[in-house]
Structure 1
């Protein structure tokens, strides 16, 4: 650790706390610092969590297992342990297992292993174990349920059913909490924001055009690690909702979306209580955004703005996440006839393939077979006629 960098990263702290399990003789401090500094915050958090899990497992074994350099046999046992689960831990999904191994491989490279000999994570038995678990589970990575706007995107289409942006916005009242939630929902959908981009939005990032629409400057994102920045278009409706929230909250700088603290006074002589709202200074967290979304879904159901099959409320809410806004806008743009390249550019997807993967459910209903057979087999004919 250099003199001008007194605070160590979470990755370095975890490694330091488990020093007996890590052979760091080949490590170069500057290489470790540079590698950690180059990581995006989400990547750093994921590697820290993966590393902490693996190190704890190594420490729990009898005899204790060396974590770095790892032994391929140990990695196989670790994968089976993760995939099996326990009474207090759900079985890890294949995608999670692959990420754990990738994090272990990255730490090995950072600490100087793999330059002259293959990494233990590249051993045939490790790759075969991952394949076997994936084959056994046959599980496609779960996609966040889409939050579509709520209107037909093209002539002849039916409007989407279930939870929609329109339904959520209708559930937001005119109080300060309702104004914040409406602005958050509207902005997240319009710009197709990742949750990190949503909670990172600041007042200085917003600007308004003469036609009433707006622009959101996104300084950093998952696919923009160099910080070149991007601009997202915002509808006049979203700009109006943002203005209402910022005016009511008194926020003039810093994070746009923050926690609202409620202070309830003691009962007066008539037994009545009053509430005062205080706006926090720190931005909302990922968990805060998800909590707002799920609360609004239940309120939209209670108010009749969203109709679901009886008993489906819990499953529907659990299927939604902060990523649902982005998936919903992607599907709406696809339904409107936009191509994958245009969608990827507008929503800052890494490639058109990624964008179309999130629209694959709609693609099934719009592919060649659906168009042709939909006309021939519309239910009007009889079998054998």
Structure 2
């Protein structure tokens, strides 16, 4: 709370300074903000920000509103309402963050935090719900069955390594494409550890490790040898013999999964979901699951495993206990006692 108040006071101080500043000084500060934000945000974040800004500006024009900043909170509230039922609430919140950044870049107060906008978002959540569509799970058995059907062509060797790595390590697509040969730390039992330099929950590069089985390590080594990859090369590149040694993009990872499993409902996240569900079935505790998937909070793994957890909940155990009691009672004759 104190830090929030301090940030608010700092913004007010800067705004006060800008009011008294001449045009050249104001433009100098705006240009500096743009430069520093370019350095602070990841490339994908900057691309998403540009796309969300463009979408908002198009909506303003289409609905007869001025694109000059600042934008009135009532206009932003109408924009939120227009997105209800079309986008998930979490996506709408990202749009509001983009609008806020538009104003911060000009050192203007953000309308995204206005109470009217907050009420509009609450209204959308109440009317359309907040459920997030979850990627269809791909379990370990699904992966092993698909891998066993792959042949020996270059693309088969590459995809075998990719599928096993994704299944073993629970890596996000962004982590898979960032993986380089030198990041593979082999262990005495034939398995490996993958050094994850940066991830969604580790934007500043503290680093983490992910597990790769002996079978996965063998598949990756086969691809590295076939593709003649050097230590500094990305592991997952194009499969063509003379293709450039550039990493695949995240969209390509999803397309490979859809093609190999013959399903349109899977994505690059499907093996993370499937891995969590497999772990809950085996009785793994939540903390070990968080470590394996490099989550900083239990929210996402708990969401991925909620169907499995419901099947093994206290209610399910009570039902199973009474069901077994009724069966034993019918065999042993009438009885009123339980346990």
TM-score higher than 0.5 here? yes
**C-alpha distance in 1, partners of 2:165/2:206?**
21
> Which position in structure 1 is the counterpart of 2:113?
122
Q: Distance in 1 between matches of 2:269 and 2:62?
A: 36
SS in structure 2 at match of 1:318 = coil
Counterparts of 1:68 and 1:282, CA distance in 2 = 41
Normalised TM-score (structure 1): 0.73
Q: Name the SS of the counterpart of 2:102 in structure 1.
A: helix
How far apart in 2 are the matches of 1:347 and 1:231? 10
Equivalents in 2 of 1:67, 1:180: separation in Å?
A: 50
Q: TM-score, normalised by structure 2?
A: 0.82
Partner of 2:44: 42
Q: How does 1:15-94 map to 2 (within 5 A)?
A: 27-62=29-64, 64-66=65-67, 68-83=69-84, 91-94=86-89
Distance in 1, Cα, partners of 2:312 & 2:166: 26
Is the Cα contact below 8 Å between 1:191 and 1:232 reproduced in 2? yes
Displacement of 1:220: 0.8
Q: Distance in 1 between matches of 2:121 and 2:28?
A: 29
Instruction: State the 1:113 CA deviation.
Output: 2.2
Aligned partners of 2:42 and 2:282: how far apart in 1?
Answer: 33
Maintained 8 Å contact 2:158/2:239 = no
Query: What secondary structure is seen at the aligned counterpart in 2 of 1:168?
Result: helix
Shift of 1:377: 3.7
1:260 aligns with 2:239: yes
| Post-superposition offset of 1:67 | 5.0
Q: Is 1:348 aligned with 2:294?
A: yes
Q: For the Cα contact (< 8 Å) 1:201–1:218, is it kept in 2?
A: yes
Structure 1: where are the runs of 5+ without partners? 1-23, 85-90, 151-163, 262-276, 299-316
SS in 2 for 1:216: strand
User: Residue 82 of structure 1: CA displacement?
Assistant: 2.9
Which of 176, 191, 194 does residue 216 from structure 1 map onto?
A: 194
Q: Do the aligned partners of 1:217 and 1:231 also contact (CA within 8 Å) in 2?
A: yes
| 1:195 matched to 2:159 | no
1:271-310 equivalences in 2 (<5 Å): 277-298=241-262
User: 1:142: which partner in 2?
Assistant: 133
Deviates more, 1:33-42 or 1:326-335: 33-42
Distance 2:107 2:203 in 1: 24
Report the CA distance between 1:44 and its aligned residue: 2.4
Match of 2:281 among 308, 317, 335: 335
2:17 match:
none
- CA distance 1:171–1:49, shift in 2 (3 Å): farther
The 3-state SS of whatever aligns with 1:146 is coil
Unaligned segments of structure 2, at least 5 residues: 1-25, 331-335
**Is the helix fraction higher in 1 or 2?**
2
Give RMSD over aligned pairs: 2.3
